[in-house]
Amino acid sequence: MGGGRLADKVAVVTGGAAGIGRAVSLRFAVEGAVVVVCDIDAEGGEAVAHEARASSPSSRFVHLDVADEASWEAAIEAVEQEHGRVDVLVNNAGLPYRRPLADSPLSEWQALMAVNAGGTFLGLKHGTAAMARSGGGSVVNVSSAAALVGVAAMTTYSATKGAVRAMSRVAAMELAGQGIRVNSVYPTSVRTAMVVSDARDSGVGVEEFLEAAAALSPLDGIAEPEDVAAAVLFLAGDEARFVTGAELVVDGGATAGVG
């Protein structure tokens, strides 16, 4: 395999079929990783894996329902059987949700928690077990700026991403002795298909939502998936060998203070 910042590393990316996960998968492939694109969307995941193979021929798609433990066990086993190890895990899969607290059913809170927080929990549990078997690795959990500041109508979503933040810190402490680093990134609104859902739940058009999101940033713009992928790349690779338990915010300064 050629060079690159992730040369010869085996990287598992959840939610890899679209948005941030797609951007991470393709950037990792360019940087020399064997990318395992994991998603519940087989068609989308296969398409991203096909793109990734242009840079990294051994990259592939593995079906994964992040909320299901048996699915995690099967996915990690498949990666170990084919590649012998897991070097990098990006827990990115997640669902959006915006609704006032009074209108938020407990059942929807539980369903979102199962994917956004439960998926990260299961990824940490099974992904790091594989890393421990091969001598260490790097985990990057994708949380959200909504875990750092209060945002109206996002109690449910913020709760799931706050759980990701807490798990990242604890896992960093717990797993350091096994050579496993655990870090997290905190994007604000990103120009992905999820923006359509956020705009709908906010009761505005997509362009209006994007303009409002951009206005929150001192840099006066909205993040692209590639911006988040660049942050994930740094934390995943050996350049960050002495970084664990860190929180990298990708929000154009939106949470830095009051403008």
CB atoms within 10 A of CB 220: 10
Exposed / middle / buried, residue 69 (Cβ in 10 Å: 0-12, 13-18, 19+): middle
Exposed / middle / buried, residue 161 (Cβ in 10 Å: 0-12, 13-18, 19+): buried
Active-site annotation holder among 61, 72, 157, 186: 157
Three-state secondary-structure class, residue 245: coil
- Please say if 157 is a catalytic residue: yes
Q: How many CA atoms lie within 13 A of 84 on its CB side?
A: 4
Please give the biggest Cα pair distance in the chain. 54
Assess contact for 58 and 10: CB atoms under 8 A. no
CB atoms within 10 A of CB 209: 20
Sheet architecture: strand order including 60-63: 60-63, 34-39, 10-14, 88-91, 137-142, 180-187, 247-250
Q: Which residues contact 150 (CB under 8 A, 6 or more apart)?
A: 158
Assess contact for 73 and 65: CB atoms under 8 A. no
Looking at the annotation, which residues are catalytic? 157
